[in-house]
Structure 1
Amino acid sequence: MERLQAVALTWVGVPYRAGGMDRRGVDCSGLVARIYEEAWGLPLPRRALDQAEIGSGVAPAWRRAGDLVFFWDGGPHSGILLDPNRFIHASWSRGVMVSELDAYWWPRLRAVRRVLSDY
């Protein structure tokens, strides 16, 4: 997962922009799509709701780096696990950041999807 870390962490600090998909501004699903494209050349759907339909569902206890995570935080929100307890996402208030699956995020977790099966 070194490739994931190398690509994902270059996005930290990029501002949030609804509908954005570049380093001038990005939203959560745009970030997920761009990281997968840059790291693995794998195009993903643009919308979080569509991203939540791809790959295989994974029990939260079996989550691992590279899995997509989906939350309900007043609306759909997506990110990518960097390890079983940290994920990268685009926060509307703070831009692209790494967060812990902590007391705030864990109860909001709605799905874990595995798109990459051979790493």
Structure 2
Amino acid sequence: MLKKILIIVSALILAACSNTSGTLRKHTSITEQQDDMQLTILGNDLKTNNSVAYKQLTQVYNKWVGTRYRMGGTGRNGIDCSAFMQETFATAFGMDLPRSTSEQKYVGKRIQKNELKQGDLVFFRKNRHVGVYMGNGRFMHSSSSQGVTISSLSEDYWARTYTQSRRVL
């Protein structure tokens, strides 16, 4: 029974930008005290990752998790994907990114999907959506349906709409 519940919850979490209903799920931060269910939802691989980039990205995630998506938004009352990347890179790495995805898609060096490292930008939907790679096939972003969340690159929607990756660090 617990396994079925975890599968259903995981499927709902990974649905991310596939709709724009505006409904937010309850978000949880990534902490050392996560219970088994949260670990299953977020993936054990995220908790055990000890790189400096991962720790910096996790700090940003914990601050912003649950913040709703708002087109053109730049703050805690709502933030869009490109503003969230701008905030993430400024906070985690002291780096200034341009404000829009149309500008961010040219920053750094284009890389192949199989070369992804933590801190690389990942783009979707003809470069109209952007997130940051966390490692282990997962990326952090501001989703129109989930707000600030972590999703899997292998989830059908993201795999189908993936456009490019860029190394900016």
Partner of residue 8, structure 1: 61
SS of aligned partner of 2:56 = helix
Residue 149 of structure 2 corresponds to 97
Deviations 1:29-85 (A, max 9, x none): 010000001111111000011001010001111111100000017x71110111141
Is the Cα–Cα contact under 8 Å of residues 110 and 167 in structure 2 kept in the other structure? yes
The secondary structure found in structure 2 opposite 1:53 is: coil
1:91–1:52 CA distance, 2 compared to 1 (3 A): same
Percent of matched pairs sharing the same residue: 38
Of 75, 81, 103, which aligns to 1:28?
81
Which segments of 5 or more consecutive residues in structure 1 lack a partner in the other structure? none
Alignment partners' CA distance in 2, 1:24 and 1:67? 26
Amino acid at match of 1:60: K
Query: Post-superposition, which runs of at least 4 consecutive aligned residues in structure 1 deviate over 6 A?
Result: none
1:63 corresponds to 2:116: yes
Higher helix share: 2
The one-letter code matched in structure 2 to 1:109 is: Y
Amino acid in structure 2 at the alignment position of 1:92: S
Contact 1:64 1:84 in 2 (8 A): no
Aligned-partner Cα distance in 2 for 1:110–1:56:
14
TM normalised by structure 2 equals 0.65
More strand by share: 1
CA distance in 1, matches of 2:165, 2:97: 15
Show the counterpart of 1:77.
129
What is the one-letter code of the residue matched to 1:98? Answer: I
How many residues of Structure 1 are paired with residues of Structure 2 in the alignment? Answer: 115
List per-residue Cα deviations over 1:62-119 (Å, max 9, x = no partner). 111100000017x711101111411111111221111011222012110100000xxx
Mapped partners of 1:40, 1:105: distance in 2: 25
Corresponding residue for residue 44 of structure 1: 97
